[in-house]
Amino acid sequence: MYESWDTDFIVKMSLDQVNLLIEEARRKFPIEICGGLFGIINGKEVLVKKISFLRNVLASRELFEVDPEEFLAEFIKSEREGLQHIGFFHSHPGTTEPSKIDLKFMELWPGTIWLIISSLNRNIAAYRIVNGKLRLVYIRILHV
């Protein structure tokens, strides 16, 4: 699938948030971790304010599926806090490349940000499906 940089969106997150995701991915390795991302969308900028770890109901090293009840509870709670659902994250024991199954789910949630964390090399990458095409989303790490 064609990959190019998303010019419409950038994700801003703190170094602490990135480290939290990487540490948790390594702690649960090789099981994939997963969850929701909540924050504030301001024009082209998406600021991550909350990382919600959700149970991977598949407890798999190749697949993930967030617990739907946990997700709904976090979604409602976050809306009350004035935060929008901006995307999902999950880890891979391998690279940050989306799998074929990931791409299928991504197509069901067009415009949503998908963060993939590699517990192999501590890389992190963000993607979006825009007009049926996979785009890489730039992540700006805030050193606060």
Of 14 and 99, nearer to Zn ion (C-beta) is 99
Residue with Cβ nearer Zn ion (71 or 83): 71
Q: Total residues contacting Zn ion (rule CB under 5 A)? A: 2
Residue nearest to Zn ion (CB): 102
**Please, what sign has the CA dihedral across residues 81, 59, 116, 18?**
positive
In degrees to the nearest 10, what's the CA dihedral of 91, 48, 50, 62?
-10
Site for Zn ion in 76-115 (CB under 5 A): 99, 102
Sites for Zn ion among residues 49-68 (CB under 5 A): none
Q: Say how far apart CA 60 and CA 32 lie, in whole Å.
A: 6
14 contacts Zn ion (rule: CB under 5 A): no
Q: Give the binding site for Zn ion (CB under 5 A).
A: 99, 102
